[in-house]
Structure 1
Amino acid sequence: MTIDELLTTTRSVRKRLDLTRPVPLELVRECLEISLQAPTGGNRQGWHWIVVTDPDLRKAIGDYYARSWNTYYGSGSSAASLYAADPERVKIQERVSSSAAYLGEHMGDVPVLVIGCISTPGGLPEGNQAGLWGSLLPAAWSYMLAARARGLGTAWTTLHLAYESEISELLGIPGNVRQGVLLPTAYYTGDTFRPAPRQPLDEVLHLDRW
């Protein structure tokens, strides 16, 4: 596929993750090797990647994730609750929420869970933390792009962070390393990915001033 096609059709895959087909670790390593080429502040490269394939560990993480999803959905702030005044957008939001609910039920069944982390030797900075997370999140997106190019589906989620301490203890993650994103990874079923509906550019573009 072209670069533009890759960039515009890499979607969060949830219901279409193949939960029965094993994913070779070497394929995951290829995607992570590409992710390490992403920019990072001061060239610190403080990222760490936890690749979880052990069924018991995946189930434990999935249980925490399900608890977090249920709390999130019950709060009324999930995708299905947004844009109620826009009938067309409501349909999209309902599909997103249904897809997210499916992942909430099946996170522990996904064959590979990748957790992107970053070193925080002095703890989390006060105020705007864009400098810190900006050194991890581009690499995570690169991983998702590389996975898409290899026939793998992923989904960007941070709901597990409600139980970050518990998951860190489960996986032996040091206290000075913080989790930033969870990327469930599996082969996907079907291949009908296309650009998603988005706001018109002119509604969000500001030239010189707001």
Structure 2
Amino acid sequence: MSDLLPLDPDQLLSSTRSVRKRLDFDRPVPMEIIRESLEVALQAPSGSNTQGWHWIVVTDPEKKRVIGDYYAQAFGAYRNSPMYATNHTSGDADRDATQGRVASSAEYLAERMGEVPVLVIGALKAGKDLPAKNQAGLWGSLLPAAWSLQLALRARGLGSAWTTLHLQYETEIAQLLGIPEDVRQGVLLPVAYYTGKDFKPAPRQPLDTVLHVDTW
């Protein structure tokens, strides 16, 4: 078993950050660590214990390059959309400064996604047509496991980042990787060792601004 960082549960949960600029593009990531972390992720809950998840681990340089190109195209479209301005401009100086740093790191990752040592796509056997209404029950059977994977990687000294922009090209990427039509992708995690020092909890809005007890 890989050496684990000396983190208690609260430290692990509050210091697992989205790593972009600090991903180490040059240091190889052993497949044993990916497999070990996925074994942890498979302990996550899923609806009716269906465990319908699938994990596509991409290390082939050419396939990573193609996925990176699709991701960069999707990021370019997002960056030029009204949603991008809305997400990064609130009128609050401190929050906008933070969002500016997030935007810079996101752009950096978009430019280099294809160079990350390992890309992990979390997918779910869901049928060709997704539900027209609320899909929380569907994706609730995949996303907890993907987060568990990020935590397991963090505990082993690796970084990752939650990304979904590749889904604009889900069909093309499925064809590239031979993913069946009834298996739908939910998240793309770039995985690498990280550079620099450790991580600390990020600024968050006060709990009482989002907490509702018994009524809104």
The verdict on a shared fold, with TM-score over 0.5 as the criterion, is yes
Which residue does 1:36 correspond to in 2? 42
Contact 1:31 1:146 in 2 (8 A): yes
Which residue does 2:68 correspond to in 1? 62
| Distance in 2 (alpha carbons) for counterparts of 1:80 and 1:123 | 30
| Distance in 2 (alpha carbons) for counterparts of 1:183 and 1:107 | 10
Q: Deviations over 1:77-126 (max 9, x none)?
A: 23785333111111100000000000000000000000000001363122
| Distance in 2 (alpha carbons) for counterparts of 1:49 and 1:155 | 16
| Distance in 1 (alpha carbons) for counterparts of 2:41 and 2:85 | 28
User: Could you state the TM-score of these two structures normalised by the residue count of structure 2?
Assistant: 0.94
Partner amino acid for 1:24?
P
Mapped pair 1:126 → 2:138 = no
Alignment of 1:53-202 (within 5 A): 53-78=59-84, 82-121=88-127, 123-202=129-208
Contact 1:152 1:186 in 2 (8 A): yes
Cα 1:108–1:79 change in 2 (3 A) is farther
Q: Deviations over 1:54-86 (max 9, x none)?
A: 000000000000000111001142378533311
Cα 1:147–1:79 change in 2 (3 A) is farther
Contact 1:117 1:177 in 2 (8 A): yes
| Distance in 2 (alpha carbons) for counterparts of 1:204 and 1:130 | 20
Q: Secondary structure at the match of 1:125?
A: coil
| Distance in 2 (alpha carbons) for counterparts of 1:79 and 1:51 | 33
Query: Once superposed, which parts of structure 1, at least 4 consecutive aligned residues long, lie more than 4 Å away?
Result: none
User: Could you state the TM-score of these two structures normalised by the residue count of structure 1?
Assistant: 0.97
Cα 1:79–1:100 change in 2 (3 A) is farther
Cα 1:206–1:80 change in 2 (3 A) is closer
Contact 1:79 1:97 in 2 (8 A): no
Contact 2:88 2:100 in 1 (8 A): no
Partner amino acid for 2:173?
I
Q: Deviations over 1:117-169 (max 9, x none)?
A: 00013631221100100000000000000000001000000000010000000
Which residue does 2:10 correspond to in 1? 4
Cα 1:87–1:110 change in 2 (3 A) is same
After superposition, the CA RMSD in angstroms is: 1.2
Partner amino acid for 1:193?
F
Q: Deviations over 1:176-197 (max 9, x none)?
A: 0000000000000122311111
Contact 1:82 1:93 in 2 (8 A): yes
Consecutive unaligned residues of structure 2, counting only runs of 5 or more, are 1-6
Contact 1:21 1:187 in 2 (8 A): yes
| Distance in 2 (alpha carbons) for counterparts of 1:75 and 1:143 | 31
Mapped pair 1:206 → 2:206 = no
Q: Secondary structure at the match of 2:83?
A: coil
Which residue does 2:26 correspond to in 1? 20
| Distance in 1 (alpha carbons) for counterparts of 2:160 and 2:119 | 9
Contact 2:27 2:192 in 1 (8 A): yes
